[in-house]
Structure 1
Amino acid sequence: MDRRSLIKAMAALPLATGMAAAMAADAGRPLIRPRRLRKGMTVGLVSPASNVPEDDHIAFAMDVVRSLGFEVKPAQHLYQRTQYLAGTDQQRADDLNAMFADGEVDAIFCLRGGYGSSRLLPLLDYELIGANPKVLMGYSDITALHCAIHQRTGLVTFHGPIAGDNFTPYSYAQFRQTLMRARPDQVLAAPPPFEDPGPGRVEKDNRLTVLHPGVAEGPLLGGNLSLVCHLMGTPWEPEFSGRMLFLEDVSEAPYRVDRMLTQLRLSGALDRVAGIAFGKFTDAETSGNSFSMEHVLRERTAGLGVPVIRGLMIGHVEDQAVIPVGAAARLDAGNATLTLLEPGVV
C-alpha cells in the first residue's frame, strides 16, 4: 500500500468504526415504547429546526395542542430565531434534552420542520433520552431526529403532524388510533374515504399503486427521503436490514428523487430492506424531457425482490398519518395495506 492509500485508509477508520458500532448497537437494542397519550397530559413544544415567522404562529401552535386536550409547555428557547434556524444549535439541542429530562412533560411535539435538525445530532444526550421515553412527534426535517434517536436508544418515535398546522379530521383520527388507543392491528396511512362518489366520480388524488408485489414484515424506518439520504455516511446512518422503509418528499422533481434513490441503491441500503412504502411526493413539477414520478419509483426499486407500494398518506399533505418509527408492520402489496403488528406506545 502506498503512502496516499495508507493515509486515506487511516482517515476512514474512525468513521467506519463509529458506523459499525452504531449499526451493531441499533441491531441489538431492545425496543422502547413511550407511554400512550391521555387527555390532561403535558406536551412540551420545541422547534429543533427552523422557526415560524411570527410569535403569533407559536401562540396558534400552543392553541392547537390545547385543543387536543393537553397542557402545553413551551421550550426555553422556543421564541429564538437565528436566520433560518430556531436559535443556535446548542439552544435547540438544550431544549430537546430538557424536555426529555423534565418530569412534568409527558410528550414532545415539534412546532415545525424546515432545516437544522441534523445539526443537533452530536449534541443530544441519548442516554438521557433512552432513560426517559416520551412521545416525540414531527415530520419532514424531524426525520433526522427520528432516525438518530431510534438508532441510538431503541425508542419508538412518531412521524406525524407538527403543532404548527391544524389537524384535519383524518389526521386527528390517525393520531388517536396510534398514540391514544394503541391498536396493534391498525392499518396505517390508508387514504381517507372519497367524499363524493357517484356515477362518473371516483377517487383521483389519493390512489394506492402497487409498484412491486409481495408481502413482508419489519420494523418501520424512514420519513423524508432527502433527510434519510442526508444521514448516509455519517455515524447516524440508519440500519436498513430487515426494515420496512417508508419515504416521502416535497418540491423534488423526479430526476432528484431518482438521484436520491440511486444513492440509496448504490450504497446497498435498498438491497437490505424488507419492503418499501412510498407516501406522497408533493409539488414535484416535471418539465421538458422527464420521467414521471411513478416511473422513477417503480424503476429504481425494480429487482429488489421486495413489495413496494405508492400513495400512502405520509408526507407534506393535510391528511397525514402517524407512523411509529421502530414498531413492526406488515406490507401487503396485493391489498395495498401497511398494517401495524405491535403498538408504538404502552
Structure 2
Amino acid sequence: MLNRRHFLHTSILSGLGLANMNFKFSEEKAATLKPAALKPGDTIGLVCPAYSAFIKEDVQVAIESLEALGFKVKKGKHIFDRYGYLAGKDEDRAADINQMFADKSVNGIMAMHGGWGCARILPLLDYKTIQRNPKVFIGYSDITALLIGIYSQTGLVTFHGPVGSSSWNSFSVDNFKSMLIDAQPVRMTNPVKKGDNLTQVEDRIYTINVGKAKGRLLGGNLTVLSHLLGSPYVPDFKNSILFLEDVGEDIYRVDRMITQLKIAGILNQISGFVFGKCTDCPPSKGGFGSLTMEDIFEDHIKPLQKPAFSGAMIGHIKDKFTVPVGLEATIDAEKGSIELSEAAVNK
C-alpha cells in the first residue's frame, strides 16, 4: 500500500512550479453532470496520473481483474513512463487523461494507483473536452486532486473508489457494481460481522454528533484536499457532506490539516461530516499523552453541532465503498449510513 504522505514530502519542491503556470478553469459553477453507467463489454481506460507503474505484473493483474468484471481495458500511452517517482512528465500524464476522455471507444477511466503527482497536472487537463465527454472517472488517495478538480471545473460527478491495484474482493466489487453498473441510489453501510466475538470489533461506527444531514458529497484524502486550498480547483463546500480519509499520518498532522479546513471556513459551511479510515494513524510517539483521533473529532467536529460520524469504509483499506463526488446524499450519523438521493450514473 502506497504511503501518500511520503510522495508529498519528497516532491513538494518540484510541485512549486505550478505557481508559474496559466490556470484554465471555469469562471462560473458548472451544473452537475452525471456519466453514463458502465456495462459489460465497455472499455475502461487505465492510466497512471501520479506514481509510476514500476512492476508490469501489477498492471496485468489490474487488467485481468477488470476483464473478470466483463470490461475491456485500454492502457494509457504513457502508463509505463517514468520520471523519478512520477509516471512520466506532467504533460504526458495529463495527455493520457485528456486522450481517454476524447476517445469515443473508452467508456470509463480508472487510475492504476495513487502516490503523488495529480495536483501537478490539474492546469494541463482539457476541461472542455471532459465536459463534452462525461465518463466514469475513479480512484482514491492522491487521485482526490483529480476527482475534486474535475468536478469543480466541469460539474462531472467523479468517484472515490477502487484503483486498478486495489483488492477486488466481494465487498468492493459489490459496491462498485451497485453504484456504476446497476445505477442504484445506493445506501452505504458498514458490514456487520461479529466473528467469534460477543460484539462487533472491526469496522465500527463512531458517532460524533447524532442526526441526519443532506448535501452534496465532497472530499477524499485529507492531505491532498488540504493542499488544494487556495487553488481554483476547490469546489464550493456550502451545505455539503464532507468525507475524508488518510493513511500513515501522525495525529498531530491530522490535527493540523483539519485545523486548516477549519480556519479556511470549510467546516462552518458543511451540513454533515464523515471520516472514513485513517489507516496506520496511531497516536504520536514523540510526546507524552498524545491526542487521539477521537480527541481531534471532539475538538474540531463536535462543536459544529452538525451530524457527524467516523469509521465508514472509505480509505486505504481492502473493503471500500465507491463514493460519488458531487452527488447529493443523506447521512445518518447514528446508523453510520450514507444514502444517495438518486443514482450516480445515467442508465
Question: Could you say which residue in structure 2 is the equivalent of 1:25?
Answer: 28
Q: Give the 5 Å matches for 1:85-100.
A: 85-100=86-101
1:278 matched to 2:279? The reply is: no
Question: Could you say which residue in structure 1 is the equivalent of 2:345?
Answer: 345
In 1, the alpha carbon distance for the partners of 2:147 and 2:63 equals 22
Relative to structure 2, which stretch is displaced further, 165-174 or 310-319? 165-174
Question: Could you say which residue in structure 2 is the equivalent of 1:117?
Answer: 118
Letter in 1 for 2:96: D
Question: Could you say which residue in structure 1 is the equivalent of 2:195?
Answer: 196
Question: Could you say which residue in structure 2 is the equivalent of 1:312?
Answer: 312
Counterpart contact for 1:250–1:282, Cα < 8 Å: yes
Counterpart contact for 1:209–1:309, Cα < 8 Å: yes
Question: Could you say which residue in structure 1 is the equivalent of 2:214?
Answer: 217
Letter in 1 for 2:212: V
Unpaired runs of 5+ residues, structure 2, are 1-18
Question: Could you say which residue in structure 2 is the equivalent of 1:335?
Answer: 335
Unpaired runs of 5+ residues, structure 1, are 1-13
1:269 matched to 2:272? The reply is: no
Question: Could you say which residue in structure 1 is the equivalent of 2:325?
Answer: 325
Counterpart contact for 2:54–2:80, Cα < 8 Å: no
Question: Could you say which residue in structure 2 is the equivalent of 1:8?
Answer: none
- Give me the TM-score of the superposition, normalised by structure 1: 0.90
Counterpart contact for 1:212–1:298, Cα < 8 Å: no
Of 223, 230, 237, the residue aligned with 2:227 is 230
Letter in 2 for 1:87: G
In 2, the alpha carbon distance for the partners of 1:336 and 1:279 equals 10
In 2, the alpha carbon distance for the partners of 1:342 and 1:299 equals 34
Secondary structure class of the residue paired with 1:303 = helix
Listed one character per residue, the Cα deviations across residues 121-149 of structure 1 (whole Å, up to 9, x for unaligned) are 00000010010000001000000001010
Report the RMSD for the aligned CA atoms in angstroms. Answer: 1.8
Secondary structure class of the residue paired with 2:41 = coil
Listed one character per residue, the Cα deviations across residues 33-87 of structure 1 (whole Å, up to 9, x for unaligned) are 1110111100000010112321221112111211111000001111101111000
Relative to structure 2, which stretch is displaced further, 89-98 or 252-261? 252-261
Letter in 1 for 2:301: T
Shift of 1:195: 5.8
Counterpart contact for 2:53–2:79, Cα < 8 Å: no
Question: Could you say which residue in structure 1 is the equivalent of 2:9?
Answer: none
Letter in 2 for 1:232: L
Secondary structure class of the residue paired with 2:329 = strand
In 2, the alpha carbon distance for the partners of 1:162 and 1:83 equals 21
Number of aligned residues: 323
Letter in 2 for 1:156: V
Question: Could you say which residue in structure 1 is the equivalent of 2:3?
Answer: none
Q: Give the 5 Å matches for 1:32-71.
A: 32-71=33-72
In 2, the alpha carbon distance for the partners of 1:154 and 1:275 equals 21
Counterpart contact for 1:51–1:111, Cα < 8 Å: no
Letter in 2 for 1:285: P
Of 248, 257, 260, the residue aligned with 1:251 is 248
Shift of 1:214: 2.1
In 2, the alpha carbon distance for the partners of 1:45 and 1:335 equals 36
In 2, the alpha carbon distance for the partners of 1:79 and 1:298 equals 45
In 2, the alpha carbon distance for the partners of 1:180 and 1:282 equals 29
In 2, the alpha carbon distance for the partners of 1:215 and 1:193 equals 21
Shift of 1:242: 1.0
In 1, the alpha carbon distance for the partners of 2:104 and 2:47 equals 16
Question: Could you say which residue in structure 2 is the equivalent of 1:154?
Answer: 155
Shift of 1:238: 2.6
Counterpart contact for 1:64–1:166, Cα < 8 Å: no
Letter in 2 for 1:301: I
In 2, the alpha carbon distance for the partners of 1:174 and 1:204 equals 22
Letter in 2 for 1:308: A
Runs of 4+ deviating beyond 3 Å: none
Counterpart contact for 1:64–1:164, Cα < 8 Å: no
In 1, the alpha carbon distance for the partners of 2:210 and 2:115 equals 35
In 1, the alpha carbon distance for the partners of 2:139 and 2:298 equals 28
Aligned sequence identity (%): 41
In 1, the alpha carbon distance for the partners of 2:298 and 2:342 equals 29
Listed one character per residue, the Cα deviations across residues 297-336 of structure 1 (whole Å, up to 9, x for unaligned) are 2321122231110000000000011001111100111322
Counterpart contact for 2:190–2:204, Cα < 8 Å: yes
Counterpart contact for 2:194–2:201, Cα < 8 Å: no
In 1, the alpha carbon distance for the partners of 2:269 and 2:277 equals 23
In 2, the alpha carbon distance for the partners of 1:205 and 1:30 equals 39
Question: Could you say which residue in structure 2 is the equivalent of 1:11?
Answer: none
